[in-house]
C-alpha cells in the first residue's frame, strides 16, 4: 500500500500489528475490540487526528462499512462485488498536516453524504464526499470527473488524498484505468475485499 497517499496504510498496519500480536499470544478478540486497540495506538502514535475508526473498520472487516466515528460504532457492513481502480500520484500528503478548519467548513455537506451512505446509497455518497473534500483539501476534481466520464460507477478522493479511487464494473474498468494512466503516478486495478483482515498461513 503506498504510504501517505490516503489509501489507509496506517490503519492497515495497525490492524496487522493487532492481529499478529493476538496470534502470538494465542488470544482472540471480537472484531470491534481489536479495531479499537489499533485506533487507540494510531492516535497515540500521532499518525491520525481522529483515530480513523472508519478506515480501520473497513480495513479489518472488508466490504463496505459505514461508521459513527464519534461513538466508534458500525452502522452498516455489507459485502459487495465490484471492481476498483486506484490512482496514486507520485506525491505524498500526511493526515497530520490536514487543514482541519477547512474540513469543518464543509461539514454540513459531508453530513448529506453520510446520510446517503447510511441509507445504502454508497456510490453517490462516495462521489459527493470526494468532490467536497477535493475542494476543501486543495486537490483537483479532474481525476474524479475523468473516471466518471470513462464510465465509473463512483469516484472519489481517497481519504485526505492525494490518491483517488473509482468503483467500476468489468466493461469499464479498462477505460477508467486508461483515463488515469495519462496523469502520471501509479494505477492499480483491484476489487473490493470482502474477506477483511486475516493471517496468511505459512
Q: Is 147 within a domain?
A: yes
Residue 158: closest CA among 175, 176, 169, 144 = 144
pLDDT score, position 169: 87
pLDDT score, position 179: 96
For residues 99 and 169, membership in a common domain is answered with yes
* Mean of all residue pLDDT scores within the chain: 91
Residue 98: closest CA among 56, 65, 50 = 50
Q: Is 91 within a domain?
A: yes
Q: Which residue has the cell 483491484?
A: 190
For residues 69 and 87, membership in a common domain is answered with no
Q: What is the pLDDT of residues 10-47, one digit of tens each?
A: 889 999 999 999 999 999 999 999 999 999 998 888 77
Residue 167: closest CA among 64, 53, 60 = 64
Q: Is 71 within a domain?
A: yes
For residues 95 and 147, membership in a common domain is answered with yes
Q: What is the pLDDT of residues 87-139, one digit of tens each?
A: 999 876 666 666 678 889 999 999 999 999 999 999 999 999 999 999 999 99
Q: What is the pLDDT of residues 157-199, one digit of tens each?
A: 998 889 999 999 888 999 999 999 999 899 999 999 999 998 8
Domain count, the chain: 2
For residues 149 and 161, membership in a common domain is answered with yes
For residues 62 and 98, membership in a common domain is answered with no
Grid cell listed for 63? 466490504
Grid cell listed for 148? 466518471
Which band of pLDDT confidence, cut at 50, 70 and 90, is reported for residue 61? very high
Is 48 in contact with 10 (CB distance < 8 Å)? yes
| Cα Rg of the chain (Å, integer) | 17
For residues 62 and 92, membership in a common domain is answered with no
In 10 A of CB 13, how many CB atoms?
A: 18
Q: Is 200 within a domain?
A: no
Is 19 in contact with 56 (CB distance < 8 Å)? no
Which band of pLDDT confidence, cut at 50, 70 and 90, is reported for residue 5? low
Domain that holds residue 87: 82-192
Q: Is 125 within a domain?
A: yes
For residues 70 and 113, membership in a common domain is answered with no
Amino acid at each position: 500500500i503506498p504510504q501517505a497517499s490516503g489509501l489507509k496504510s496506517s490503519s492497515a498496519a495497525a490492524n496487522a500489528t493487532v492481529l499478529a500480536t493476538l496470534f502470538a499470544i494465542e488470544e482472540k478478540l471480537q472484531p470491534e475490540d481489536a479495531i479499537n486497540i489499533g485506533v487507540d495506538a494510531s492516535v497515540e502514535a500521532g499518525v491520525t487526528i481522529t483515530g480513523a475508526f472508519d478506515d480501520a473498520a473497513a480495513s479489518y472487516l472488508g466490504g463496505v462499512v459505514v461508521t459513527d466515528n464519534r461513538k466508534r460504532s458500525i452502522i452498516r457492513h455489507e459485502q459487495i462485488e465490484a471492481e476498483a481502480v486506484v490512482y496514486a500520484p507520485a506525491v505524498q500528503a500526511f493526515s497530520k498536516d490536514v487543514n482541519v478548519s477547512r474540513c469543518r467548513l464543509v461539514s454540513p455537506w459531508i453530513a448529506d453524504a453520510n446520510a446517503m451512505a447510511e441509507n445504502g446509497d454508497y456510490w453517490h455518497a462516495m462521489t459527493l464526499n470526494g468532490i467536497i473534500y477535493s475542494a476543501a483539501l486543495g486537490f483537483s476534481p479532474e481525476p474524479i470527473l475523468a473516471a466518471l466520464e470513462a464510465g465509473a460507477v463512483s469516484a472519489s478522493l481517497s481519504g485526505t488524498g492525494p490518491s483517488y479511487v473509482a468503483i467500476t464494473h468489468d466493461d469499464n474498468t479498462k477505460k477508467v484505468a486508461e483515463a488515469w494512466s495519462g496523469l502520471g503516478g501509479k494505477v492499480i486495478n483491484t476489487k473490493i475485499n470482502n474477506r477483511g483482515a486475516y493471517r496468511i498461513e505459512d
